[in-house]
Structure 1
């Protein structure tokens, strides 16, 4: 039987002074992790980015923060995503193996190439993009699986190391995800149209490369859920302005969207969210990370979203593959 779609939690942590230090942000997030576990979420994810000034979203060292979260929660841990150009492969292999050990095998390593301007950041490699990235992926596998003589990289908790998901918005990224990794990762700012195109390219490449492999497609989506749809949409209009400004200032919001397409967010009632998830499932999506706490989102709205997802959406995820019949109180589509 096809396993049900899984729902994870995408946390926003950043260096903007108005959000407080990282320790303060984690203290505020800790009760949310507990609530998410109780609601049936399966994982928690952090992104990575680099800025020349403090910024509200993401971190320059997601693995370090995940290591801190490991004893605080039983949820799986994921990076969504690390940026390859900022990392030396042997150092990345070491840090990922240690987080996998500390979490007793709960790490999933999402990684994308990253912008050209990241060459040399934090000791990363300065080589040109694609060849460097593919060599890095091969090196990670070698260090984790073959344990070359004389290597200083510790063994990960799981034989062979954590699963790897590849992010990126072009067909090359989809091919790498199918042939060099364990799945594909679609970013929060990728339109549903781009998600569909990348999912198709990944699934076609996987069928050609390894037809017996189990597909894995993850997507990150800003998420606000309320029993009243108008309330959810009002919250989105009021509290997502900071997120929209951040991405639009980079010309990076809703990439690939065409006129008439829905915005790449999950906002509305549980019934409306299930309808969107059904569509994602039809594209081959297996994991959704609900980004419930972008900077500026009130705690009561965040907790309401987690509760609504736990009570009315997560119990129905298997029904997306089993006749589309949902429990009372959500949908009867």
Structure 2
């Protein structure tokens, strides 16, 4: 199992400067690159300061100038906000500007607050239909001349300019939680981005079973990649868990505001809604959060990650953007690189060894 990092430019108060947000994200990206993380993912969001990314291709191009090896992914683009021609061209140019390191992640979208401003107020659940029309059109534009007459977009013969650097194109990843999206994504040859959110550990197995079924139902397709993301924090002392859980709980109240559109947002800063208004309140139990998310000392985190590995996850992604202070984000990365990743690297080397040595060796 390989490891990835999900981070965003973020501000949670007007006192936090954009310059600090940039320098902190860049520092984390450099450490992840030097430490052997496979991919860095960043999201698309609009009009909210807690995720500053009106065009993730710009962010990834910037990070590419300061990193050497790490793959650079969009997790995720929001399908209803794009047109096929624009998306195909911008993604392909980003692939060139990053030296062929782009990973193309896309989703239906999440925050109803944003859909009210970016998609005419349509229910965010309807974004999946846009995604299912958009992605195949982008693939065809990358391949050559293509005319499209669909439900949401129509255009005469056109092509992507430029074409991607990667041949035939960057790996496509689709964010999925429901079986229908798993099936559609695997059917078009896409890999899967998924998250158990704050659900109990058993949800890992539920998502893994959806992935396995989609792969079994599409034997004509090679097995794609499977990534899962959870909020993560690694610390040195077990007793520090309560402080970390508080950050996760508080961020969940911002998330509920934007997802359900039940709070206020002032000058880009969302209000944390009262706990009484949140959905799935059981997921906010502090001990459940500690146990379900990837929080703990290195020795506590390793067995948690082994559950993902056993479920068939190819890439586990540390989610660090939830108003976790920069010092704790950096401490997490350092501990993860020094004390967690070597455990899985050694397991990989052991798995690659032959079962017996050649005679006389």
Q: TM-score, normalised by structure 2?
A: 0.76
Q: Give yes or no for contact 1:163–1:182 (8 Å, CA) kept in 2.
A: yes
| Alpha-carbon displacement from aligned partner over 1:249-305 (angstroms, at most 9, x marks no partner) | 33687799699966542110112211111101121111112123432x233322211
Map 1:250-269 → 2, pairs under 5 A: 250=259, 264-269=292-297
| Alpha-carbon displacement from aligned partner over 1:58-87 (angstroms, at most 9, x marks no partner) | 533222211221111122101111111111
Larger radius of gyration: 2
Change (3 A) 1:100 1:255: farther
Q: Give yes or no for contact 1:46–1:58 (8 Å, CA) kept in 2.
A: no
Shift of 1:34: 2.0
Partner of 1:330: none
Structure 2: gaps spanning 5 or more residues: 147-156, 261-277, 352-361
Partner of 2:168: 160
Q: TM-score, normalised by structure 1?
A: 0.82
| Alpha-carbon displacement from aligned partner over 1:77-122 (angstroms, at most 9, x marks no partner) | 0111111111112111111111111111111111111259538838
Q: Give yes or no for contact 2:144–2:159 (8 Å, CA) kept in 1.
A: no
Point out the more displaced range, 206-215 or 137-146. 206-215
Map 1:141-290 → 2, pairs under 5 A: 141-146=139-144, 148=146, 150-187=158-195, 189=197, 191=199, 192-210=201-219, 213-231=222-240, 233-249=241-257, 250=259, 264-290=292-318
Change (3 A) 1:203 1:258: farther
* Count of matched residue positions in the alignment of Structure 1 and Structure 2: 316
CA–CA distance in structure 1, aligned partners of residues 347 and 320 of structure 2: 22
CA–CA distance in structure 1, aligned partners of residues 255 and 320 of structure 2: 17
CA–CA distance in structure 1, aligned partners of residues 226 and 282 of structure 2: 18
Partner of 2:66: 72
Selected match of 1:62 from 50, 56, 66: 56
Shift of 1:139: 0.9
Shift of 1:211: 6.1
Partner of 2:118: 121
| Alpha-carbon displacement from aligned partner over 1:154-178 (angstroms, at most 9, x marks no partner) | 1111012111111132111111221
Selected match of 1:317 from 344, 353, 359: 344
Q: Give yes or no for contact 2:30–2:67 (8 Å, CA) kept in 1.
A: yes
Structure 1: gaps spanning 5 or more residues: 325-333
Partner of 2:94: 99
Report the 3-state secondary structure (helix = DSSP H, G, I; strand = E; otherwise coil) of the residue aligned with 1:114.
coil
